[in-house]
Structures are given as structure tokens and as C-alpha cells.
């Protein structure tokens, strides 16, 4: 079961996740998310919403792979920032709700 949090900044979420061992940077390896999404589980979701602009929303995913690798992926939700990796994570999140 994944945990969802609201937080003051992306850096706070990244610090908290790093303390829990989520240190692999999936933003540098988006192809892993796209190609191996069935091997990944979203453990934590941290959401940040900007004070003045809804386009400032971002999400930090705490992800664990079947081999035990723990990492993070930071995604923005502006219309031009939705990548293939972000779509794959959204699909994993939706599948996890069922």
C-alpha cells in the first residue's frame, strides 16, 4: 500500500525519501520506468502544489523495483511536462488502486 503526503517543497520530500533509502534517481533513467514498469511498485507519493499557480504542482514518487532498488522520480504536471515515464507511473498508480 502506498502512502500519499502533502509537503512544503520537493527538496523536503527528497530528503525524507533519501533517509528511507530511496536514493536511485529514476529521472536519470526514465527508460527503466517505461520499459520495466511491471517490475516497479510505487511505495510513497509526495505531492506539492504551488501557492499561486496550479501549474506548479509536482509529484515525487518513491519507487521500489522487484530487485529491491529504491529510488525517486520527480514529475511536474504542466501540460508540456508529461513524459512517457510520467504516464507509466500514473498507470502504475491507477492499477494499484484497483
For 24-75, the pLDDT digits (tens) are 999 999 999 999 888 999 999 888 776 655 556 788 999 999 999 999 999 8
Please state whether the predicted TM-score (pTM) of the whole model is above 0.75: yes
Helix intervals (H) in 1-98: 10-19, 30-35, 84-97
Contact status, residue 33 vs residue 86, Cβ threshold 8 Å: no
Q: 24: part of which helix (H) or strand (E)?
A: strand 24-25
What's the structural domain count of the chain?
1
Q: Tell me the backbone φ, ψ of residue 8, rounded to 5 degrees.
A: -80, -30
Domain holding 23, by residue range, is 3-97
| C-alpha cell at position 82 | 508529461
Amino acid at each position: 500500500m502506498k502512502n500519499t503526503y502533502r509537503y512544503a517543497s520537493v527538496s523536503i520530500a527528497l530528503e525524507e525519501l533519501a533517509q528511507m533509502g530511496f536514493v536511485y534517481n529514476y529521472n536519470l533513467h526514465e527508460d527503466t520506468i517505461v520499459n520495466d514498469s511491471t517490475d516497479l511498485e510505487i511505495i510513497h507519493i509526495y505531492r506539492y502544489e504551488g501557492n499561486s499557480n496550479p501549474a506548479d504542482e509536482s509529484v515525487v514518487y518513491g519507487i521500489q523495483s522487484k530487485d529491491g532498488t529504491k529510488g525517486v522520480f520527480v514529475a511536474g504536471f504542466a501540460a508540456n511536462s508529461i513524459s512517457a515515464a510520467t504516464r507509466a507511473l500514473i498507470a502504475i498508480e491507477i492499477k494499484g488502486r484497483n
